[in-house]
Every structure is written in C-alpha cells, then in structure tokens.
Amino acid sequence: MRIFDPHLHASARTTDDYEALHAVGVRALVEPASWLGQPRTSAASIADHFGALLGWEPFRASQYGIAHHCALGLNPREANHPGCAEILAELPGYLGQERVVAVGEVGYDAMTPAEDAALAEQVALARELGLPVLVHPPHRDRLTGLRRALDVAAESGIAPEWLVLHHVDEVTAPLAASSGGWLCYTVYPDAKTDRLIAMLREYGTERAMIGSAADWGRSDPLLTRATGEAMLAAGFGPAEVEQVLWHNPVACYGRSGRLRLELGEPGDFHAGNSIRRGSAPR
C-alpha cells in the first residue's frame, strides 16, 4: 500500500516516526508551514521556519526513504500580527523554490479583515505561479469560514480544482464537495473511522485525500495506513484505496511541476549536521 500524506507536520515528529511511516508504506508527504503553538513575533521567525522546510526536513525524511515536499504561506492566526505579516513581501521568492508544491496553510482563524487581506493576496499569488492552495478552515464556525474562503478564491479568479480544502468533516463536506476543490479529510486518534468511511461513500473518492496532520498535538502519523485498511474492510476496492492514498495527492500536487518522488542516495550532511549517529540510513 503506497501512501502519500498530503498534510503532515513532520517537523513535529521524531526520526522514529519517519522509520515507522516508511514501514507502513508512506513514501511521500507534504508539510504545510504552520503555527507552532508559541506565537511568533516577527517575519524573521517565519523565514527560519520556511528554511527548515526547504532544507533540513527534506534531508531528515530522505534518510528514511520518504520524499518530503512543502507548502509555504502565512497562516491565518499569524496574519493578524503586523510583524509576522511582513513575510508576505518575501513570499514570492520562497514559492519559486524546488519542492514547494503549494501555498499554505492559508484561510481563517478569527475571520478578521487582516486574515481576509492575507488570504486574498496569497490566493492571487498561487494563481500567478500555478500552485495549489491549502485552505484551512477556522476552528470555530468552520462552515462560515470555508464559505468565505471560497468566495475570496472565486474573486481572485483561481479555478476551484486548485484548492485543497483541509479538515473536511460532516459539516463542511457538502459545501466542499460542491465547490469543485479537493477534499482532504484529516484522521485523528479520536476520530471514528466509520464517519470517514461514510463521507467517502457519500462524496466519492475522485477528489478525496486522507491526511494525518500529525503535528505537536495528539495525533498519529500512521493513521493513513489504518484508514486504507478500513476502506478495504468496508468494501472499497484496492484501486479506490490507492486512488485516495496515492494517485489523488500526486495528481493534485503534481500540477506544481515540482514533485520529486524518486529519491537518490540520501546525503550524509545538511549544513554540516547529520542525524545518523554513526549508522547507515534506514
């Protein structure tokens, strides 16, 4: 079972997690830029985060046979901080780099005017550069936030098939499915698999993806594999499982022209550092 996790915050995971991911079939992932829990206070901090997603994290993943890609953007929570929002002026330069396959995560947190402006600017930039957009709904009133994000995207002129709508649930699924965007379901440890299976049955597998998110909160990066097994047990065919877990993420992010799924020999060092501790890559 080949797995491409379309939304995994690998920076929050250990090297043991990478080893376990490879063992269950994960061969590629996209890590979106994110809020790290502790509020940032400047664009320089975000720039360092971008740098890690472009350099150190792909190196770390390569030691375990996993192709790491990233999405870069100003997340909605930090869009409200004027110092952090200064990164928008530098964002075009970052989005032009290799292994950047999307803009994100962008969207809403408190649905403020600052978030509106940041989302509109980044969606327009994605349209200009030919990159998909990872849309994050607010944690409160997700449906209103998703509707507002779709309106902003429509005003920018970006086609809906360039939108990756994350954290889709029963409340937002009808709107997400009718929008023409990609539906990215997030599977968490406390989520009931039968709920996800029911949504896949109702809205289909054609534009569906399964992500673990797997950030610094309670999460499990191996649940994508468990979901694939649950799909098989529920009567989905192997081709449908492979479509959701592999072909759809490849098709979605492949539009960037920057997917690099074939790995060469992993390097020994990144910026003078190694994680091998004297051992060979796994």
Higher pLDDT, 277 or 13: 13
* Biggest CA pair distance of the chain: 54
| CA 278/CA 271 separation, integer angstroms | 17
Helix (H) or strand (E) holding 29: strand 26-32
- 77-131 residue pLDDT tens: 999 999 999 999 999 999 999 999 999 999 999 999 999 999 999 999 999 999 9
- pLDDT class for 190, splitting at 50, 70, 90? confident
Is it the case that residue 24 has pLDDT exceeding 70? yes
Secondary structure of 158-179 in HEC code, one letter for each residue:
CCHHHEEEECCCCCCHHHHHHH
- 137-154 residue pLDDT tens: 998 899 999 999 999 999
Is it the case that residue 217 has pLDDT exceeding 90? no
| 3-state SS assignment for residue 146 | helix
Is it the case that residue 240 has pLDDT exceeding 90? yes
Residues in the chain: 282
Q: With contact defined as beta carbons under 8 Å apart, do 186 and 5 qualify?
A: no
Least confident residue range of 45-59, 211-225, 267-281: 267-281
Q: With contact defined as beta carbons under 8 Å apart, do 60 and 267 qualify?
A: no
Higher pLDDT, 8 or 215: 8
How many CB atoms lie under 10 A from the CB of residue 42?
Answer: 14
Q: Which residue has the tokens 């390097």?
A: 267
- pLDDT class for 282, splitting at 50, 70, 90? low
Strands 67-72 and 26-32: parallel
Percent of the chain at pLDDT above 90? 85
Give rounded-to-5 percent helix, strand, coil for the chain.
45, 15, 40
Tell me what the pLDDT averaged over the chain comes to. Answer: 93
Which CATH code for domain 3-254?
3.20.20.140
Percent of the chain at pLDDT above 70? 95
Q: Average of pLDDT values for 163-188?
A: 96
> Could you tell me which residues come within 8 angstroms of residue 234 by beta carbon, excluding any fewer than 6 positions away?
197, 201
